[in-house]
Copies of this chain bind each other. A is one copy, B any other.
Amino acid sequence: MFRTVERTPSGVRLLDQRKLPQAAVYITCKTPEETADAIRQMVVRGAPAIGVTAAFGIAVAASEAATLDPGALDRRIAEACELLAAARPTAVNLFWAIARMAEAAREFRAAGCGNAELAEALEREAQAIHDEDLAACRAIGRHGATLVPERATVLTHCNAGGLATAGYGTALGVIRGAIEAGKKVRVLADETRPLWQGARLTAWELMEDGIETVLITDGSAGGLMRGGQVDLVVVGADRIARNGDVANKIGTYSVAVLAKENGVPFYVAAPLSTVDLACPDGDRIPIEQRDRREVTEPFGTRIAPDGVGVLNPAFDVTPARYVAAIVTERGIARAPYEASLAALASGA
């Protein structure tokens, strides 16, 4: 079984997702700089996974700088937080995890901890973020399974699986949860251009688990829904605004509109660390624009003429009205999301 992200004695060990499905190769980031680079270059991706990765990157920084004087250690932690926060802009789990690590550092210092204790505390905090994410995914799977019919064809977009989390997955966690509950599930995986997370990652990890998977181009999803071949859609999220608007991989909005038009329920599965209650609606979520070559040069083959313009937004926003439910580790939120998400977040 693969490990998406883990702390090893030598650093933050990541499964290099750029190489999948041809090869399962691991790399180890020995500094927060290398960790930020790995996030930026999408060695690791998926909102929960990059949050966990950043937390480990800060723990690495603290452990390495523990021999310095306390002021220098604190500056190194602050620097690590800053450069990891600059790695990617859209997924809020990154900022959530960094803020949680920074807060832990402040608290332990305020409690009078020395460097060694502080570094150890940050290692524990990062591991807790990892372990809680895995537990959250399993809980999402249990809650989400109730939404899946006994026999279902489920369409998903991008990869919100074990590769996008500490393990088990959010959207794919719902699928795994349904199968563990004895349901028969077949998955339609959108390939998800430009980086093919559906083809390279979702199909790979589902087939590793022996789950029936059919790959389609992004443009095929609508026609299959119109043909009655999709029972439900479930996707992950990079950030959910207070009102239930969902930022997720580019193309998600299209899937949501097509689902609504065809009477197919569209579900979002995400841990509460993905919900940004400080963000009132989806239009305030910063959307990352990525390199034009992701579109014009897939795998180094130039497919478009020189000089053509390119727009390559990595994410889009699906307004809450298209979302039938949001599955979290504490239960299922329904519209109106402003109330239901706030209640789940507060543990009410």
Contacts and interface: CB of A to CB of B under 8 A. Distances in A.
Interface of A: 21-22, 157, 188, 190-194, 196, 199-200, 203-204, 207, 212-224, 226, 249-254, 257-258, 261, 295-296, 298-299, 301-305, 307-313, 316-317
A223 B204 contact: no
Contacts of A313: 220, 223
Given A212-B309, A309-B213, A220 B251 contact: yes
A30 B206 CA distance: 48
A43 B142 CA distance: 51
Q: Which of A305, A309, A310, A311 has the most CB of B within 10 A?
A: A305
A303 B305 CA distance: 23
B261 A304 contact: no
Number of copies: 2
User: Taking chain A's interface residues, is the majority helix, strand, or loop, or is none over half, making it mixed?
Assistant: mixed
A223 B258 contact: no
A308 B217 contact: no
Given A196-B303, A222-B257, 11 more contacts: A21-B304, A199-B296, A207-B305, A207-B307, A215-B310, A217-B218, A219-B252, A223-B250, A223-B316, A254-B254, A258-B258
Contacts of A199: 295-296, 303-304, 308
A226 to B, nearest CB: 6
26 contacts: A21-B302, A21-B304, A191-B303, A193-B217, A193-B218, A199-B296, A199-B304, A203-B305, A207-B305, A215-B296, A215-B304, A215-B308, A217-B218, A217-B250, A218-B251, A219-B250, A219-B254, A221-B254, A222-B253, A223-B250, A223-B253, A223-B254, A223-B313, A226-B317, A254-B258, A299-B299
